[in-house]
Amino acid sequence: MIGPYLVLFGAERLRLSALEIGVFVSLTAISGMAASAWLGRRYDHRPGRWPAALAASLAGTGYLLLLTTPPYPLLLLIGVVFLGAGSAVFPQLFALAKSHTDGPAGRTRGGTPVLRSAWSLAWAIGPLVGGALLAGPGYSGVLTATACGFCLVVVAVLRLDARPQPAPRPDEASSDRPLASRAVALPLAGFTLFHVAMFSGAVALPLYVTEVLHGSPEDVGWMFSLGAAAEIPAALALLLVPDRWRQRMILIGMGLMFVYFALVMAFTGIVALVIVHIARGVAIAVVGALGISHMQHLLPTSPGRATTLFANSATAGSLVSGIAAGGISHALGYRTALFACAVLSALAWLLFLLAQRRARVEANHSVTERLSPR
């Protein structure tokens, strides 16, 4: 509900400049990455509901504090201490899904696609609800409803069984790979580039459609709405995909994002561009759901840290995208910015492919070591 309107709140209610808003958004995002990393480690050390409940409580409190229209220094403090914690709720909920529903050693992963589809549904209807509240009670209604939403998250988390599934024993799952290993670093870099491309495209496309193709803001709304709607069935369809196809499906999802940008540059008709966004929605759903599962597979005994790494790759992509897309669009034009997004999508695909080859080499080496006589 609050996502699309927080910047407008800063500009219209708090009378902030573009630079002040940028600093506030960036500091909040950075603090969110730090909070997610810390709570992820706490969860792995002692799995339970309290990290998610704490993050949601802090975020809800922060949005209530915004109702006081604080001065800028206090606003920055609220963003860093309270609002940033809201970013940690996403990875914590997926860590809980992993521990409570996916079973020991990650034998099943039904919780992640279902939860990812709920996340897509939230983005499909949340901005509409926020817009309705903004048209009625205004920013006070949006902020209050957002705070209440985080309170409901706390209630839902506390109603969850306090005891997660038993952690995998050493003979049931491989140990966590070092973060510096190529098997972890390469896919993480690929996911980061994927998110840079995704968010950069979301910055450049509306301006490309309205200023180059002379479309309307409503056309842009239809594009992103259809993409968000496509995410829901795509995420649920992943429940039917066998585990052995998981990595292949991630490659297909990254490839779809490249195809999406290529078609966006090729088509000039608004209707065609709206339909093309189905590919974007499917790509986001596939990489979003299976990317989380893949990181948890690489770090089987650390679901909190694994999910946080994936979530922070999205946050990092969001931070970079504004500067990257804005700078390229200003200097070279919107089509060049979209072309750069296509290149980033291709590089993400290549990095993940290299990661899979590296993982196979490590697996073969491990088998050889176990079979060799001592």
Given a cut of 80, whether residue 209 has pLDDT beyond it is: yes
Q: What is the mean pLDDT of residues 25-43?
A: 91
Among 30-39, 78-87, 360-369, which is the least confidently predicted range?
360-369
Q: What per-residue confidence (pLDDT) applies to 101?
A: 66
Which residues have CB under 8 Å from 203's CB, separation 6+? 321, 322, 325, 326, 329, 337
**Residue, of 185 and 358, whose pLDDT is higher:** 185
pLDDT at 373: 58
Q: How confident is the model at residue 167 (pLDDT cuts 50, 70, 90)?
A: low
pTM of the model: 0.80
Going by pLDDT thresholds of 50, 70 and 90, the confidence category of residue 171 is very low
Token pair in block for residue 247: 């990595």
pLDDT tens readout for residues 353-370: 998 887 777 666 555 555
User: Band of the pLDDT at 191, cuts 50, 70, 90?
Assistant: very high
Which range scores top for mean pLDDT: 95-99, 151-155, 321-325?
151-155
Structure-token match 């990317």, residue found: 291
Instruction: Categorize the per-residue pLDDT at 173 as very low, low, confident or very high, splitting at 50, 70 and 90.
Output: very low
Domains contained in the chain, CATH given: 1-173 (1.20.1250.20), 181-374 (1.20.1250.20)
Read off the pLDDT of residues 255-264 as tens digits, 9 standing for 90 and up: 999 999 999 9
Residue 104: the pLDDT is 46
- Is 281 exposed, middle or buried, given 0-12, 13-18 or 19+ CB atoms closer than 10 A? buried
d(CA 36, CA 312): 8
**Distance, CA of 290 to CA of 241 (rounded, Å):** 10
Query: Looking at residue 170, what DSSP letter applies?
Result: T
**What is the overall mean pLDDT for the chain?**
85
pLDDT band at 127 (very low <50, low <70, confident <90, very high): confident
What is the helix, strand, coil percentage profile of the chain, to 5? 85, 0, 15
State the Cα–Cα distance between residues 303 and 306, nearest whole angstrom: 5
